Each structure stands twice: as structure tokens, then as C-alpha cells.
Amino acid sequence: MKAKKSKRELFVFYSRPLFRTCEIICNHAARIFLKKSSLSSEWVRLELDQLNEKRIGFQRDLNIIGGSHGHVCAECRGKCCGGVRERDAFIDRIIQDPETPNLCARRTEGEMAAYKLLAGKEHGGTAVMAAAPVPDHCPELTVEGCRIPYELRPIQCTAYFCRKTIDELSSQECDTGIRALAGLMKIQVRTVMLAIRSRMGKR
């Protein structure tokens, strides 16, 4: 049974204005505060690794509830992936690959960490990797869908749900999604706190 309007509105609030604000502030703050040389420190890598594990868990939860609206996305054909710009933000890059050379606000060269992490591994995405790109959309979007496996996508890609997809969610799915969105925001805030500690040299 579909969720009540009030619960769906709460989901919209978490997925859109609240998440978006958190994403922008945290990515800029993490980039400004992080002592870049600390990315090679063992304690910073360990904490990033722990945050990344948690991120994967929340993105999996959002993927599961996203299964209920596959038909909406199939009809829409990726409008929310429109616009030619790279989607991975600063936190996505350092949390997935602390060795990333792309430490600027927006990546303008190189590729997503997913390509390095998947290199040489069986990941069942061969068809989508070889599929034709969709013009005027995100460089990762193909006619077969996104090239990046769900758990390696930028956080913003998994946090975003359009209104039509939210309308399809059950009450339980809304609860799971809101918990996962809150969890992803907490990870972004904790990455900022880690960045501040790296600057101060405090473990």
C-alpha cells in the first residue's frame, strides 16, 4: 500500500532540500578543512574506510526501495541524470579512494573511483559498460542505464528521488529511505569532522 501524503512529503523534504543543503555545505567544508597530506595517514584512511562501509550499507537500502519504481525510471529514461557534468563530489572521491588525484570541488578530468575499484573484477556490468552513451546527459549514462554499480555511485545519485518515484513508495519504504538518507547525511557531516581533525592533527 502506498504511503500517506504526509509521509511522502517528509521523504521529499529529506531527499531534496535537506540532503541538497547538507551535500553542498559538507563537500565544500570537507574540501576546505581537510589537510590533503593527511589522506596518506593510516588513521585517516581507516576512518574513511569505516565511513565508506556505512555509506555502502545506506546506498544498498536506497537501492532496495528504488526497486519499486523501476518502471517510472524506464518511462522517464533518465531525466534526473540530465546535464553534461561529472556527479562525483569531493567526499565521494576521498571516501571511495583516498589516493584520488582529483581533490578539487568539481572533477574536470580523470574518471570516477568506481573504474579503479572495479578494474580486473567480475562485476556483471559488461553490457552496460559497452553500451552507447546518452547525449546531453551525465557521461556515465548509457542507453542501458548507469555504468556505475549502485553502491559506487556518487551519494547524490542515490539520495535523489523525483516526485513520481516517491509517489510509488510504501510507508515502510519511506521509513527505510528516510533512515538511509539521514545516515548518508551523517556520514557527510562525520567526514567534515574528520577533515577538521586532520587539520588540527587530532585523532
Taking the C-alpha atoms of residue 147 and residue 191, their distance in angstroms, rounded to an integer, is 26
In three-state form (DSSP H/G/I as H, E/B as E, the rest C), the secondary structure along 18-37 is HHHHHHHHHHHHHHHHCCHH
Q: Which is nearer to ligand SF4, 131 or 182 (CB)?
A: 131
When asked if residue 141 is in the footprint of ligand SF4 (CB under 6 A), the reply is: yes
Cell of 184: 548518508
Given the C-alpha cell 590533503, which residue does it identify?
36
Site for ligand SF4 in 51-90 (CB under 6 A): 81, 87
Query: In this structure, what DSSP letter does residue 41 have?
Result: S
- What is the dihedral sign for C-alpha 84, 155, 15, 144? positive
Using the rule CB under 6 A, which residue among 140, 169, 191, 198 binds ligand SF4? Answer: 140
Q: Total number of residues binding ligand SF4 (CB under 6 A)?
A: 10
Please return the burial class of 108, using the count of CB atoms within 10 Å of its CB with bins 0-12, 13-18 and 19+.
exposed
Per-residue binding string, ligand SF4, 153-172, x by CB under 6 A, is xx--x---------------
Per-residue binding string, ligand SF4, 24-43, x by CB under 6 A, is --------------------
CB of 172 to ligand SF4, least distance (A): 24
When asked if residue 44 is in the footprint of ligand SF4 (CB under 6 A), the reply is: no
Using the rule CB under 6 A, which residue among 3, 148, 180, 184 binds ligand SF4? Answer: 148
When asked if residue 95 is in the footprint of ligand SF4 (CB under 6 A), the reply is: no
Helix 171-200 to helix 19-33 angle, to the nearest 10 degrees? 20
Interface residues with ligand SF4 (CB under 6 A)? 81, 87, 138, 140-141, 146, 148, 153-154, 157
